[in-house]
Amino acid sequence: MIKDFSTAYWGLLPTTSKPYPAHPKVNAFVGASGHGKTTIMDGLRLLLGDAKFENNRDALHYMHKKSKWAVVRASFYNEPVNGIRPFESAGCQDDEVTCCCLITVSSNGRPEKEYYVFNGIFTEIIDLGTNPKAYSQSLKSHKQYKQILEECLGVTPAFRNLMSMNPTTVKNLVHLDANDLFLKVFELKGIKKIHDNYRSAKDELGKQEVNLQLAQDTLTEGLNNFTRLQSKSEKYKENQLNRKKLQSVKQKMLKVEFWENHSAIEICEEKSTNFKNEINTEQNKKINLNVQRTSIQSEILKAETKKEGYKAALADFQEEIDALGGKVGEITANRKRITEDVLKLKEIKPLNKEEFVQDHIDAQKILEEAQNDWRKEKEKLGNIEKRKKDLDQDKPYPNYVYDFTTKLNENKIEYILLADAISLKPEYEKWQLAVEAFLGNERFRIIVNKNQELEAKKLQEMYGYTARMSLTKPEVENRNRRKIPHPTIRSVINVAFPDKVGGYMTRLDDIYLVETVEEGHHLQKQGLTSITFKGLQQDNDGSIFRKPNRLCCGRLALEKEKMLIETEIKEQREIAQEKETLVRDYENEVNRLQTIINEQNELEKLPLKEKELDDINNNYQIHLSEKQNKEIERNRINSQLEEITGFLTDKKVAEAVCEQQEKQCQREIERLAKELGTLTQELESKKQDLEEIKQKLIALGISEDDTEFIPQDINTPDFKNERGEIYSSKELKRESERITDNINNFIKENPDIDETVVELVKTQEALVNQLQNRFNQIKEERDNWEQECNNSLAALQMHIKDTMKEFIEDFQMMADLIGANATGRLEPRGEDPDLWELYLSIGFDGKKPVLINSPDLSSGQRARTSLLVLLAAVSSKRRGEKLSIMFLDEPNAEVDDYSGNDIGQVFQLTDIQYFITHQIGESLKSIQWINHSFVCSQCPPDSDFAKPLIVQKMRCD
């Protein structure tokens, strides 16, 4: 702790011959605002390593305006405590150690600070400011100086932050949330090294995680490269094997071709000998057949002469018999027909024929009229069914509309069909018929763009499109429309493309939809146009009933039209069926009358038919007897003809067989001769091939003598497949081509693969092993740091629990000193201590403790509580650590004198040296807890410095 202090050119405080003595307990800088209390305190803070001042001031702000440097000095007790001096680690063995901070102005106008540590008493601060080089051996770097303060005085970064806390910050300690309160208390009371060990281990673990991932990625990349190179190496080796295999297969193929050609030559020579023998045999056979055929031809010639005589006689008899047979047959047919006619005529009842003739004429006229009616109804049904088919295909418009729009599409003319652009709103469905009845042919108006109008008109004239064609016309709002309690046609329809077709809908805003004729009549008197839902239009020109031949505007219209068509088809089909039934009845009646008339006409012929029948019967008997005699003679001659014909047939068959066999012999001789010629050519070709193959084998290193042993080689396992069959040359050629393709494909697909890839595989394999070893080392190091992190976390958690337990006990003890009741608890939130929470409660005047940020505490009680929290946090009595120094700016500013004395008693009971500021006033007389007061005064207007501090000892210890 500080023994005494002094300054030179620091603020307006004059330099004194003797330092100001400091009390080990409470030292108060007393004075009004602006008298330099904070200036002195900020100088001591600066000396203890703090660089944060109030109101954004820096060290130059406190330097006297007539000086280029300033010095703040303080001496510290260095007497042994438990046999160890506080500054012993800094090499100081005297009972007192002096520290100085020299502030100068740099060339760029910024403050520069130098720190000096003297072993023993040092007071020559003026000399230090004017001649700092003389004391360079006591000069410390900023880092060294802070390390000395931390190790010797316990001035940690947390305490430096505490030193710079303003009253507002202290007061707001009670307003921190549970987590921030825990962090603030642990920052002040905890051992930083334990926390830093955990943070360092955690940070190092994070680095190792990153290193491990990088090593993993590098290893994976190395393995991928190794796999890729290994694949290339295998392909290269496979290609080399294919090259060797190709040479072997080519040699085998040549040997097999040699063997096959040699075998084929032997076979050809054997076949040639056989062909020559067969040709001689066939020639002998042909000569014998020719002699036999000549003998048979002589016998046939004699038999044919005899046969011709029989045929001539038979032909004469047959001609006479056929003539008689035709006559008898004709007579028989007429006889049967006339007999049947006579019997039928005798069954007919005689009637008045003239009456039936007139009835037939009348019935025929009625039938023709009924057939015309039926035909019309069928045509009407066909038209309706065709309309139904169009609707099923979503083609509601007349065919001429589709024909014309197809031409527009073919000529790439953009258009809008008005019927496509309008549809009835669902809630007005009942007006569908009235709306479309009024629109009529207007529904098929076609809207085109101006730049295509002329071309479209030409097409309209060419194809005779009868609906209008117009340019686009935007809709114009009708502002003069009268208020009529009936919807207009325009109001009940939706219009697509209003900017193009809306103008043609404007007039529909003056056409009203009424339910009754009376309503329309009433509107007509007012000069308005209307139409009923059944289709009666009333206007200034009278009335007219409109009915559309189809509904086609919108989906609702299409569905409704389908329903109407279904009903119409059903009704029309019944009408057509009725007409067909009537036609069939009239046809039956006409046929019945015609049958009666025909019967009466035939009945008049009965006497003539009976006489004709008697004449035919007599003539039939004469012709039948003559025909029978002729047939007997014909049959005798026919038997002789059949006998000679059989003989001729046998001989001609024998002749044909001989001739056929003779021709077959000739064909066989020709075939054998042709095959012999082909075989001779083939034999010569194979001998040439054999010689070429032999030369190729010799080129491959096989001697001519070795070729003699090729048949023995062929029978070895190398030339046989799994079934023990010898490979053919074609099979080996295909294998050779396949291997060649593989080699060529390898060269084409892998131009970068050569013999070097084998060496690269070995190099990459070694690299992968190195990367694997490195990965294992990093993983092991990462696992060690993970264990270190877990151990550090456990140590930190244990330290926090012990520290918070001690803090809560200190907080309760200090609360007892001022008559308050306090409690506290630590709430761990997960493993990470940075998320833990500290809850403190306090009760004043015998009340039940409430949380320190509770609105139940008054502002004075909260101010006292904040100080209690702060003092409990910096108290080190229970830990036996080095005493600390604490700076508080007006700690009792917001409390009454009674509460202020309570706080002062706490100051006295804690092992901390306090430097505080205090506003001057009458209340100072009642303060019993300040040990030394340093009264500050304002600098007189005519002076460069204020008066020295007045030191008063306020308390007798």
pLDDT of 526-549, one tens digit each? 999 999 988 999 999 999 998 877
Mean pLDDT over residues 753-780, rounded? 84
In this prediction, residue 402 carries a pLDDT of 87
Predicted local confidence at residue 372, as pLDDT: 93
Q: Are 437 and 557 in contact (CB under 8 A)?
A: no
**Is residue 74 included in any domain, yes or no?**
yes
Are 867 and 170 spatial neighbours (Cβ–Cβ below 8 Å)?
Answer: yes
Ramachandran area for residue 24 (φ above 0: left; ψ -120 to 50: alpha; else beta): alpha
pLDDT score of 956: 62
Look at residue 877 in the predicted model and tell me its pLDDT: 47
* Residue position matching structure tokens 């009842």: 349
Q: Are residues 372 and 324 in the same domain?
A: no
What is the average per-residue pLDDT within 295-318? Answer: 83
Over range 722-741, report the average pLDDT: 81
pLDDT attached to residue 469: 92
Write down the pLDDT at residue 713.
77
Structural domain includes residue 919: yes
Residue 19: pLDDT band (50, 70, 90) is: very high
511 in the same domain as 471: yes
Cα distances from 590 to residues 424, 580, 594, in angstroms, run: 55, 15, 6
Residue 879 has pLDDT above 50, yes or no: no
Residues 6+ apart with CB under 8 A from 873: 184, 185, 188, 189, 807
Percent share of the chain, pLDDT over 70: 95
Q: Which residue has the higher pLDDT, 303 or 881?
A: 303
Claim to verify: residue 80 and residue 138 sit in the same structural domain: yes
Q: Do 334 and 362 have their domain in common?
A: no
- The number of folded domains in the chain is 4
The whole-number pLDDT of residue 125 equals: 92
Per-residue pLDDT at 878: 44
Whether residue 818 lies inside any domain: the answer is no
Domain region containing 893: 2-176+881-953
Is the domain of 468 the same as that of 377?
no
Percent with pLDDT over 90 in the chain: 23
Residue 44 and residue 145 in one domain: yes
**Main-chain dihedrals φ then ψ at residue 520, nearest 5 degrees:** -65, -35
Residue 876 clears pLDDT 60, i.e. is over it: no
**CA 341 vs CA 121, 493, 602, 607: distances in Å:** 175, 80, 9, 11
For residues 446 and 526, state if they share a domain: yes
pLDDT score of 52 more than 80:
no
Question: Phi and psi at residue 485, in whole multiples of 5°?
Answer: -80, 40
pLDDT of residue 180: 87
* Gap between the Cα atoms of 759 and 770, Å rounded: 17
Q: Are residues 363 and 414 in the same domain?
A: no
| 89-98, 140-149, 250-259, 852-861: range with lowest mean pLDDT | 250-259
pLDDT > 70? residue 899: no
Q: Which of 102-106, 354-358, 664-668 has the highest mean pLDDT?
A: 102-106
Average of per-residue pLDDT values in the chain: 85
Residue 816's alpha-carbon distances to 31, 819, 820, 821, 909, in angstroms, are 32, 5, 5, 6, 12
The answer to whether residues 509 and 579 belong to one domain is no
Burial class (CB in 10 A: 0-12, 13-18, 19+), 393: exposed
Same domain, yes or no: 470 and 416: yes
Q: What is the pLDDT of residues 665-716, one digit of tens each?
A: 888 888 888 888 888 888 888 788 877 877 877 777 777 777 777 777 777 8
Whether residue 926 has pLDDT greater than 70: no
Judgement on whether residues 20 and 97 belong to the same structural domain of the protein: yes
Average pLDDT over residues 514-525: 93
Q: 957 falls in which pLDDT band (50, 70, 90)?
A: low
Alpha helix segments (H runs only) across 700-755: 710-714, 729-749
Say yes or no: 127 and 145 in one domain.
yes
pTM of the predicted protein model: 0.44
Range of lowest pLDDT (105-119, 184-198, 807-821, 868-882) = 868-882
Closest listed residue to residue 438, CA positions, set 337, 533, 575, 568? 533
Q: Rounded distance, CA 786 to CA 209, Å?
A: 10
Query: 398 pLDDT band (50/70/90 cuts)?
Result: confident
Query: What is residue 406's predicted lDDT score, i.e. its pLDDT?
Result: 93
Write down the residue that tokens 């045999």 correspond to: 281
